[in-house]
Amino acid sequence: MKQLFTIGTTKKTAEKFFALLTDNSVRCVLDVRLYNTYQLAGFSKYPDIKYFLKKIADIEYISDSMFAPSEDLLTAYRENRINWDDYTYRFKQIMEMRGIIDYIETRYEDLNGYCLLCSEDKPDKCHRRLLAEMICEHFGEYELKHLY
């Protein structure tokens, strides 16, 4: 069975972050954050994260904003104008409107060993979990493992 991972950067040291990736034989980190260049992102700020992944762990890095929530959706959730259930519903609608499954099928040959990267510490209320579950549900050949 193929493996698909998720990981968040918040509340992790660089040491723990890279150990989780290497201990699980991650081959590529797929950054699904809407904002990945902010100074507050620390070691996970782009382009630093790409360099660190390659140099420290020989892991490839891809940033793909097609998998990110819209700015409006993220802002509405962060400002408590919508709850998690509303966020989930709207995120799935956005992914459907973007044709995300077709996009994956044409753009990504094999996600085995890929790790979806976002900033949330845990996957419970993070779009990376929703995305990973969509992938697993559609393709059916992936075991999902959240790294935290």
Q: What is the pLDDT of residues 54-106, one digit of tens each?
A: 999 999 999 999 999 999 999 999 999 999 999 999 999 999 999 999 999 99
Token code pair at residue 139: 């393709």
pLDDT of residue 118: 96
Q: Are 29 and 139 in contact (CB under 8 A)?
A: no
Rounded Cα distance, 87 and 7, in Å: 20
Q: What is the pTM (predicted TM-score) of this model? A: 0.96
In contact, 52 and 14? CB cutoff 8 Å? yes
Q: Average pLDDT, whole number, for the chain?
A: 96
Backbone angles phi, psi at 141, to 5 degrees: -110, 10
Cα–Cα distance for residue pair 103/99, rounded to 1 Å: 6
Domain ranges of the chain: 2-147
Task: Using the predicted structure, report yes or no on whether residue 137 has a pLDDT greater than 70.
Answer: yes
Residues 37-54 have pLDDT tens digits of 987 678 999 999 999 999
In the chain, the amino acid numbered 52 is: F
